[in-house]
Structure 1
Amino acid sequence: MRATGWRQTVASRGRRPVRGWRSVRGRTTLGATVVVAVALIVGAFSFYGVLSASIHGSTERAAEQRLEELAGRLDGAGGDVIDAIDDEIVQLIEPDGSVRVASEDAREALGSNALPVSDDAQTLIVDEEQMLVVSEDLDGDQSLVLAVSMEDDADTLATVSTLLAVAVPLLLLLVAVTTWLVVGRALRPVERIREHVDGITAERLHQRVPVPDTADEIAALATTMNGMLDRLDAAATAQRRFVSDASHELRSPLATIRQHAELAQAHPDVTSIGELAEVVSEEGLRLQGIVESLLLLARLDEGASTHDEAMDLDDIALGEVRRLRAAGLEVDGSGIHAAQVHGDPRLLGQLVRNLSDNAARHSRGRVAISVTPSDRYVFVTVEDDGAGVPAEERERIFERFVRLDEARSRDAGGSGLGLAIARGIAASAHGTLVVDDSRWGGARFVLALPLGA
């Protein structure tokens, strides 16, 4: 039995370095900020690109509409229309590339140089200013060219980029502060729970974590922690009781051996060697039985693997019927039917043996053993005509070192471990073991095991 392993785990938990909730808070804030930063930067560049393309397209459409308007006016009025234009750069270009007529601003900015003629809009620097140049072919292979300033477009995009450069860091700062505050508020109850649990040791397992009235995941966590502490507390109580009972059981035969040995030593003429040997042998067998039972319980508690094979449960039951009849009991075995299960023959044999010995110990002379297959399970029933088990004690008798009749059980060699072992074996075989009233008013133990394939 590893009696102190979990105690050391619970007791040493408070000495381990625990990463605080602030580091979690910081990592969460940093992670959220990075994600939002990437999203904002990608969104900002995408927005800037879409806006730039939209403004450029709008300027190009406006320039083409203005060019069509000028071309319509030019058809009726000749080159004088272009010469009279103010605040626009317009040229009428001959097929040989020379400038036939130009607006005043075109003459000042370009002189005799001609703007490029192309089917697509172009951008170029004219008089240190970025211009959008569009052209349209006229009759006589002449081309009308218009250059529109893009300064307003550049100012608009510069304003937008400035706003984005200021807004993105401010949004990131707002997200970081908000995340820090929200995560801190969310983790603060978790930190209180952690601090409370960190202070619970093996000696203070009765303490519980306060459950907040929020009905959320934090409350569910606190409830789960309290459930775990309940199980640990129950296990600790059962373990202390088990150690105390085991110590008492082991002390009793040792004390008997020592008393007889001291008596034989002090009065060798009163106590014979044969009598002393008989006492030592009986108490030694009792010690051996207790130790073997404890070892078996320890193996069952640890879920030790057992030998699994197909076996006939009815053969085991018939063997117990013959054994009890040889001991002088009236045993009814008429209810034994053929049934095969999978399990460890040695352990299942001990289970039925423990139930049979318990029935024989408490009966007044009659015992019944039956094996009944039904659907997917087989039921093994062992009942006697004894005093029975009170309803309020029917679970407690399966605890270790529990005896409802101390004197009779001790005289008959019982250690209070037989039924605990029986239930442990039943659980390891994926079965159940319960007790109720027999047909004669005594105890009836019912073992349910899955049928073998």
Structure 2
Amino acid sequence: MPRTRIVGRWTRLGIRKQLTTVAVLLVALPLCIGILLLANLLTSSLSNAQVTQAREVAHRTAAYAGERGPAAMTSFQLDDGYRAQLVDSSGAVVWTSNSHYTSPLSEMRPQPGDAEQEGAVRWWGPGDRNEHRDLVVAQGITHAGDPYVAIVATSQEDQQSAVTVTTGLLLACVPLVMLAAGLTAWWVGGRALDPVDEMNARVSRITSSTLDERVPLPEAQDELRSLAITMNQMLQRLQAAHESQRRFISDASHELRSPMASLSGALEIAASDDRIETWRELSPLMQTEASRLSELVQDLLALSRSDDGGLELTITETDLDDLAAQEVARLRRTATVEVTSKITATRIEADPTQIGQVLRNLCDNAARHARSRVHVDVRPLEHAGAMIRVEDDGNGIATADRERVFERFVRLEESRSRDQGGSGLGLAIVHQIVTAHGGTIRVDGSEMGGARFVVTLPGPR
């Protein structure tokens, strides 16, 4: 089975089943390995004890035969469970403890004084057939100058059967232990995931009208609490975005209603009076309101595109001083206030169309709120980048409102209200464009008495 398919099936099990499976395996595998190790340790211990005892029996048999000779072996008292033989140098059995064993019990022929062994079972395995193998010890002796070998054999079946029975009983307990471990892990996993179920139930009940609800925080200081905190932060952001969207729609509707009402009223008047003079009198009003409506729609579309996927910037080498000079010239032609400037040759990498809109919106905003004068300052920064400053001698912006001024349709105090021709979106668009270029914008008080907007744009990237 491919590895990816196995991983896919595993991930589909769910956290609780995965936890239970892992717990069962972590209990079963070490337990089975431990039982097998115990069986082998027990086998080795019993084998060592049996080998020691068999060597003692072989030593006593050899000593008796060496002292009294083969003829006296008929009176030798052999331990229960053992078989013994005495073999001469030609390999013939000269004495046996059991008449059924007439052939030598082993091919081992140690030298006189030496001992050898074979057949000891040191390891245990399931279905091991070695338990029927005899343990054989042979020791060389001499009697009357003739060499002999005393051979002693004993069965290992009893010891190995004991190990097999013990191991089988222990292995039979493994499924019970696995069941207990699985049930415990399932219960513990369920208790641990209870907060997740509570969060899931709470979130499933939250709708667009109940975004003020929050998921409960678990008491334990763990990852689930961190998850709950993160979800609450997400809900808070969703609530803020939803409220902002509602305000945006409400404000946009309000802004659109005013020029639409003016156009509708003018058209009704013109329709009720077919004189050409009436159309001529209403034409400037209708053109003004149509321009205001078009500007508002364009601003809304620009912000909508920015919200959907960010502004699409065409970055090129841009002469910022040329853009600023064009806006200053335009403002001098259209505004009723004095426009002064201090423009230094400045080249940056930016989108010239977007930066031109930044300059235009800032200049128009300053002209609307100035009493008599607007000043534009453009210069390169010391290391890299550029700075734009646009200030006026109007009423200024209160410190508490200097962050809010970049929000959409924000309503400030009456001294800088947007009932002076603006759409309420110009500064929000400026903030979007500057941020997209990696720059910053701030507003503070001007020495001229009004507001001063300061834009910094980064150098080459």
> Same fold judged by TM-score > 0.5?
yes
- Tell whether the 8 Å contact from 1:117 to 1:135 is kept in structure 2 after alignment: no
Range with greater deviation from structure 2 (136-145 or 344-353) = 136-145
Range with greater deviation from structure 2 (149-158 or 207-216) = 149-158
Q: Name the amino acid aligned to 2:280.
A: G
* Rounded Cα–Cα distance in structure 2 between residues aligned with 1:341 and 1:301: 26
- Alignment partner of 1:305 is 2:302: no
Q: Please state whether the residue corresponding to 1:272 is helix, strand or coil.
A: helix
Pick from 158, 168, 178: which aligns with 1:162?
A: 168
* Rounded Cα–Cα distance in structure 2 between residues aligned with 1:285 and 1:98: 129
Range with greater deviation from structure 2 (83-92 or 193-202) = 83-92
- Tell whether the 8 Å contact from 2:395 to 2:415 is kept in structure 1 after alignment: no
Match of 1:131 in 2: 134
Percent identity of the aligned residues?
A: 39
Deviations 1:159-187 (A, max 9, x none): 32133223312221221122112111110
Pick from 81, 85, 95: which aligns with 2:89?
A: 95
Shift of 1:230: 0.4
Shift of 1:217: 1.4
Match of 1:345 in 2: 352
- Alignment partner of 1:293 is 2:296: no
Instruction: Report the number of matched residues.
Output: 425
- Tell whether the 8 Å contact from 1:385 to 1:440 is kept in structure 2 after alignment: yes
Q: Please state whether the residue corresponding to 1:445 is helix, strand or coil.
A: strand
Deviations 1:221-277 (A, max 9, x none): 111111000000000000000001111111211111111111122233496222344
Q: Name the amino acid aligned to 1:284.
A: A
- Tell whether the 8 Å contact from 1:131 to 1:147 is kept in structure 2 after alignment: yes
Shift of 1:356: 1.4
- Tell whether the 8 Å contact from 2:380 to 2:386 is kept in structure 1 after alignment: yes
Match of 1:7 in 2: none
Q: Please state whether the residue corresponding to 2:424 is helix, strand or coil.
A: coil
- Alignment partner of 1:316 is 2:323: yes
Q: 1:338-377 residue pairs with structure 2 within 5 A? A: 338-370=345-377, 371-377=379-385
Q: Name the amino acid aligned to 2:134.
A: M
Q: Please state whether the residue corresponding to 2:381 is helix, strand or coil.
A: strand
- Alignment partner of 1:64 is 2:55: yes
- Tell whether the 8 Å contact from 1:387 to 1:442 is kept in structure 2 after alignment: yes
Q: Name the amino acid aligned to 1:429.
A: H
* Rounded Cα–Cα distance in structure 1 between residues aligned with 2:199 and 2:430: 40
Pick from 82, 96, 102: which aligns with 1:112?
A: 102
* Rounded Cα–Cα distance in structure 1 between residues aligned with 2:436 and 2:275: 53
Q: Name the amino acid aligned to 1:44.
A: I
- Alignment partner of 1:151 is 2:141: no
Match of 2:21 in 1: 30
Pick from 239, 244, 253: which aligns with 1:247?
A: 253
* Rounded Cα–Cα distance in structure 1 between residues aligned with 2:325 and 2:197: 62
* Rounded Cα–Cα distance in structure 2 between residues aligned with 1:137 and 1:273: 140
- Tell whether the 8 Å contact from 1:397 to 1:419 is kept in structure 2 after alignment: yes
Deviations 1:13-60 (A, max 9, x none): xxxxxxxx9964234213432443344334433443454345334433
* Rounded Cα–Cα distance in structure 1 between residues aligned with 2:447 and 2:322: 24
Q: 1:164-313 residue pairs with structure 2 within 5 A? A: 164-269=170-275, 272-302=278-308, 303-313=310-320
Match of 2:31 in 1: 40
Range with greater deviation from structure 2 (197-206 or 164-173) = 164-173
Match of 2:43 in 1: 52
Match of 1:413 in 2: 421
Match of 2:412 in 1: 404
Pick from 119, 136, 154: which aligns with 1:122?
A: 119
- Tell whether the 8 Å contact from 1:92 to 1:100 is kept in structure 2 after alignment: yes
Match of 1:85 in 2: 77
Q: In the superposition, relative to structure 1, how do residues 83 and 385 fare at CA in structure 2: closer, same or farther (>3 Å)?
A: farther
* Rounded Cα–Cα distance in structure 2 between residues aligned with 1:190 and 1:23: 13
Shift of 1:121: 0.7
Name structure 1 gaps, 5 residues minimum.
Answer: 1-20
Q: In the superposition, relative to structure 1, how do residues 151 and 408 fare at CA in structure 2: closer, same or farther (>3 Å)?
A: closer
- Tell whether the 8 Å contact from 1:409 to 1:415 is kept in structure 2 after alignment: no
Deviations 1:90-141 (A, max 9, x none): 11112333211223xx33xx342331223651379xxx96531222344445
Range with greater deviation from structure 2 (155-164 or 223-232) = 155-164
